[in-house]
Structure 1
Amino acid sequence: MTAVPVALIQVTDVRRITPRMARITFAGDGLDALPSWPDQQLKLLFPRPGQTVPRLPEEPGDDAMGWYQAFLAIPEAERPVMRSYTVRSHDAERQRLTVDFVLHGTPGEAGPATRWAATAKVGDTLARYGPAAEYARPLPLDAPGLILLAGDETALPALGSLAEALPATARATAWIEVADPAEEQPLPTRADLTVHWVHRDRAPAGADGALLAAVRAARLPQEPVFAWLAGEAGAVRGLRRHLIGERGLDARGIDFTGYWRRRLTQDDAPTKEDLAEARERLAAAREQAG
């Protein structure tokens, strides 16, 4: 393994934990030495059609920029598809890494990551980039007040890891949007956590979207001191504006990430809204640091 956190990983277990979510466990070099934290991000590299193993740079360079340039130099038809995911759990002793995959859409509509996950079997091989400790974000999970968590099913792996990391003294409330009741899953925690499941198949049509409408209509027992928001980028922006403009939450007390964009993939160019979100995240990080 080079200084850049890249390595091949092999599937050791596949489970369908809900009709639309697959939990896949991997083994591979270096998993015993990974740093670990809640809401831990990494990138997965998927082989192209006709490949059994993703092609990685032969001369990867000594740093992240060098590796990425070498990655882009691979012909597009052979270059792995790279997508961002969250570590659901990490077992350093057993050298195992578990990732939950949301299975979006029908087979004809699904993207390359969903197509791979829907048919994954023991022995299949991916590559990982990360996790890297420099991307860890300290989160105030022991805040002496209400913690608000909100997201859709793509946020569930991270939200599950956050729930497990909450101390027993924490009080938290979560709103989670999923397709229907069959997509609900347990969220083990030591904390006093109240979970509100928002079902898209039962939500009234409206401009706000199901998740934002549910949070906007909620009566909170007290004003949250920290909010964590993730999921579809437009919904996350709406939630953040609501919490700041209508609930009066300090912008510095919100951690927010748009995981995906409606009708767009990670390969598409950023929109004006994406760039605005990036500026907001940068400004929030500067305020927290200052």
Structure 2
Amino acid sequence: MTYDFFDVSVVRHEALTPAAVRVTFAGDTLGGFVSGGRDQRCKLFFPAPGQSEAIVPRSEQWYPRWRALDPSVRGIMRTYTVSAARPDSFDVDFALHPGGGPAIQWASQVSVGDRLLVLGPTVADNGGVDFQPPADTEWVLLAGDDSAVPALDAIRSWVGSSLPVYSWIASAPQRCAPGTVHCPGGLVAPLRDAALPSGTPYAFIAGESGEVRALRRHLVRERGFDRRRVRFTGYWRRGATEDDLIEESAAA
């Protein structure tokens, strides 16, 4: 199996900013949890209201069986980036938006010892990693909002000094890495005004779906990027929950 379920518990939590918290999970079976680094995704399952633990069928066919459960009873699934992984633990960063959903409510009240169910990778080469620069890449463009900060930070760490990296982030200044362009009003206008280097680029953009699509159009149509060299991911969509997006995907 490329993915498996892991029972984990909170062993540490720390405030990164007034609006972001890092939670460290550990578990006896995490030796089988293998992150591919970069923007590695995993699924977190939170208990439904009135439940003490997330109810999820643990099998290879878990998704259709989970969808078939009563939505008021089944575990609440959310997708998050693995900020960092170690042999016996891993970190997830939560942005604490006012009025947030179940995951944000959980993270805002998290305590050491709290338990969760995680669906995570068991091999490094897995479908939960989108950042895949071709061998001929000469420089990297990264752009994202607050929801993408963990992925962008992990990508920068993975790239290291092997390639020049240029970053634009619409997030709190405290969460912007050195050399990053802070874009409090959104990403499209600052990128449109930016002087980009020559050479063969590879772009990774993530965040709110509408802004991500607009930025991709700018890079491809106005900047002449090869569309195959622009990896874009909508982590969320204004006015929709992840549950809404799951239902839309299933209907399609």
Scaled by the length of structure 2, the TM-score of the pair is 0.89
Q: Distance in 2 between matches of 1:56 and 1:269?
A: 19
Query: Which residue number corresponds to residue 245 of structure 1?
Result: 221
Matched letter for residue 11 of structure 2: T
CA RMSD of aligned residues (A): 2.5
Q: How does 1:8-87 map to 2 (within 5 A)?
A: 8-37=7-36, 38-57=38-57, 60-61=58-59, 63=60, 66-87=61-82
SS of 1:229's partner is strand
User: Percent sequence identity over matched residues?
Assistant: 38
SS in structure 1 at match of 2:242: coil
CA–CA distance in structure 2, aligned partners of residues 25 and 132 of structure 1: 19
Q: Is the 8 A contact 1:52 1:125 kept in 2?
A: no
- Cα deviation for residue 266 of structure 1 reads 1.2
Does 1:184 pair with 2:143? no
Give runs of ≥4 in structure 1 deviating > 4 Å: 141-144, 269-272
Asked if structure 1 preserves the Cα contact closer than 8 Å seen for 2:141 and 2:204, the reply is yes
Counterpart among 86, 90, 96 of residue 97 in structure 1: 90
Any idea what the Cα deviations from partners look like across 1:47-66, whole Å, max 9, x if unmatched? Answer: 12333322233xx34x2xx2
Q: 1:141/1:167 Cα in 2 relative to 1: closer, same or farther (>3 Å)? A: farther
Amino acid at match of 1:17: L
* Deviations 1:47-95, CA, capped at 9 Å, x for gaps: 12333322233xx34x2xx222332343322211101111000001xx1
Note if contact 1:141-1:167 (Cα within 8 Å) is conserved in structure 2.
no
Q: How does 1:203-214 map to 2 (within 5 A)?
A: 203=185, 210-214=186-190
Secondary structure of the residue aligned to 1:168 is coil
- Please list, as runs of the form range in 1=range in 2, the aligned pairs for 1:1-290 lying within 5 A after superposition: 5-37=4-36, 38-57=38-57, 60-61=58-59, 63=60, 66-92=61-87, 95-105=88-98, 109-131=99-121, 133=123, 134-135=126-127, 136-137=129-130, 139-140=132-133, 143-178=136-171, 180-181=172-173, 183-186=174-177, 194-199=179-184, 203=185, 210-222=186-198, 225-269=201-245
Higher relative contact order (CA 8 A, sep 6+): 2
Unaligned ranges ≥5, structure 1:
188-193, 204-209, 279-290
8 Å contact kept, 1:223–1:247: no
Larger radius of gyration: 1
For residues 222-276 of structure 1, the C-alpha deviation after alignment (integer angstroms, 9 at most, x for no partner) is 255100010000011001000000000000111110000001011115799x89x
1:102 and 1:165 map into 2 onto residues whose CA distance is 22
Gaps of 5+ in 2: none
Which SS does the other structure have where 1:160 is aligned? helix
Q: Is the 8 A contact 2:131 2:155 kept in 1?
A: no
Tell me the alpha carbon deviations over residues 192-223 of structure 1, each in whole angstroms, 9 at most, x when there is no partner.
xx311112xxx3xxxxxx21111111111325
Please say if residues 140 and 202 of structure 2, whose CA atoms lie closer than 8 Å, have aligned partners that are also in contact. Answer: yes
Moved more, 25-34 or 229-238: 25-34
Q: How many residues align?
A: 247
